[in-house]
Amino acid sequence: MPVEAPYLLTGRVALISGSSRGIGAAMAVDFAEAGARVIVTARQQEKADAVAANIREAGGEAEAYAYDASVPAAGARLVAAIHRDIGQLDILVNNAAILRPHVIAKLSESEFDEIFAVNTRAAVFLCQACRPLLEQSADAAIVNITAAGAHSPMEGIGAYCASKAAMVNFTRTLAREWTASGIRVNALTPGSVATDMILPTDPARRAEFEKNMASQNLMQRLADPVEIARAARFLVSPAASFITGQTLIVDGGLLA
């Protein structure tokens, strides 16, 4: 058996929420290169279409669906469409998330509700909606993308950190409840990654922000999104067949 074989995803169907940019798009491309048929999602259909088209142009398999994680029952509708159009699901990656920077004193109730709706509620109920299809898979796996703030609180993004900490806990609970049904459930915590969600738009501020972020981890650099994507692929691959209920931290030593 080739060394690479346990890390391949040939013949498997992978749903990645929030996969039109950043880490999500990197995972979509990486999973497709490893042989998976990837389901790309974004709030806007055209953004999901663009990533899926790029994957197909490179020789991979990809489908695109609009999915707004802030809308209740959107996950159930998405999975119903996947069941109708594809009829198979082996992998779920909950990556869709939002960030609303605020110190707690200025956090509004609407912002709190929005953050938990997208980062926590949507992920939990997407898992629930996907379960019937995942149970039919010979090698089902869920990965919930969390954040360093889930493990170490960070000033100015308290609600975001709390929503991700909740997903760490949910991950362990889901693993306890679903592993016996053949579904492995793990979490992945990225560290300092240069993505549009967190970087300032002003070029000068962006450069300074990246420099400050890089200085906080032991490797003194930011991660490329593909480095996070490869870690996620490991968790959903046969190479991680005995791993469930765990959180893999890929942070360049940020939390060391």
Catalytic residues: 160
Angle at 121 between CA 115 and CA 126, to 5 degrees: 130
Q: Report the distance separating Cα 11 and Cα 9, nearest Å.
A: 6
CB half-sphere exposure, 53, CA atoms < 13 A: 6
Q: Report the distance separating Cα 152 and Cα 179, nearest Å.
A: 28
- The strand pairing partners of 38, in sequence order, are 14, 62
3-class secondary structure for 111-134? Answer: HHHHHHHHHHHHHHHHHHHHHHHH
Q: Report the distance separating Cα 83 and Cα 134, nearest Å.
A: 11
User: In sequence order, which residues have a C-beta less than 8 Å from that of residue 202 and are 6 or more positions away?
Assistant: none
What are 48's two structure tokens? 């999901």
- Is residue 225 packed enough to be buried (19+ CB in 10 Å), middle (13-18) or exposed (0-12)? buried
Q: Report the distance separating Cα 252 and Cα 118, nearest Å.
A: 27
